[in-house]
Amino acid sequence: MERQMFFRLVLALMLPVAGCKMEQAGPAPDYGSGCIVVDDFETYTADSPMKIFETWIDGFGYTEPPPGKPGNVSGATVGYLDKPFLERTIVHGGSQSMPFRYKNTVLPFYSEIERQWAVPQDWATSGTRVLGLWVYGDPCNVPGPLYVALQDASGATSVVNHPDPNAVCAGCWNKWSIELSKFVGIHPVAVSKICIGVGDRRGLGRSVGGEGMLFIDDIELSRR
């Protein structure tokens, strides 16, 4: 019940802030322009196997249906406690976005959500060179380090940090575009996992970013 109240409070606080360039909820990504959707969060439902936290793994994982899946023991929570688990008011495209609550005030002092593919993904196909994702940070959050990590089929991992620590508290939708070449050492033709996180994933034993709430939508690949 405590989590439910927290999320309702967050929603109440998420009004547009002055001076913020607002991005209204828009149409689905333009498939005809060369964009390839990685995840727009429109296909998730309240039922297994399409619950959002069965695909995007957080710190806690899930137990139903058996055998479930363990979490990554970070401070991240994907989705709401209540069905349908997705956010349906604060969305960028379509009618759903992914809630991502983070808590960096306890061990391991970072929060990370991850999606893994059994078959590695070719993200360089059709000349795509840029990974884009839309992020809405609760304006009540404190500035903190937002990052994306990719892992390829060889097991190599590379992390790109957002250049602006205020990205997690902007109070509006902002697109973060990352050239795939920034993920040094990763083969973009064989991506096996994407992680989105807040904090210092190196686990240096220090808390950064506090705790807060983000929404993620329209993760896509484009040519530029």
Give the CA distances from residue 178 to residues 44, 77, 137, 175, in Å, rounded to whole numbers and listed in that order. 25, 24, 18, 10
What's the CA gap between 38 and 174, in Å, rounded? Answer: 17
- Spell out, one character per residue from 178 to 217, where the chain touches Ca ion: x when CB under 5 A holds, - when not: ---------------------------------------x
User: Rule CB under 5 A: is residue 71 a binding residue for Ca ion?
Assistant: no
Nearest C-alpha neighbor of 35 from the set 113, 134, 116, 101:
134
Measured from the CB atom, the residue of 211 and 217 that comes closer to Ca ion is 217
Tell me the helices (H) and strands (E) count for the chain, helix number first.
2, 13
Closer of 96 and 174 to Ca ion (Cβ):
96
Residue 168 CB, shortest distance to Ca ion, in Å, is 19
Phi, psi of 164 (to 5 degrees): -120, 115
Out of 29, 59, 79, 93, the residue judged to bind Ca ion by CB under 5 A: 93
Choices 37-45, 67-75, 110-118, 132-140; region in contact with Ca ion by CB under 5 A: 37-45
CA atoms within 13 A on the CB side of 213: 22
Size of the site for Ca ion (CB under 5 A): 6
Q: How far is the CB of 88 from Ca ion (least distance, A)?
A: 9
The Cα–Cα gap between 131 and 36 comes to 10
Using CB under 5 A, pick the residue from 10, 14, 41, 52 that binds Ca ion.
41
- Residue of minimal Cβ distance to Ca ion: 94
CA distances for 130 relative to 15, 55, 93, 223, angstroms: 30, 23, 19, 6
User: Could you tell me the smallest distance in angstroms from the CB atom of residue 94 to Ca ion?
Assistant: 4
Find the shortest distance in angstroms from Cβ 162 to Ca ion.
Answer: 20
Neighbour-count burial of 51, counting CB atoms closer than 10 A to its CB (0-12 exposed, 13-18 middle, 19+ buried): buried
Going residue by residue from 94 to 113, which x/- string records binding to Ca ion, judged by CB under 5 A? x-x-----------------
Residues that bind Ca ion (CB under 5 A): 40-41, 93-94, 96, 217
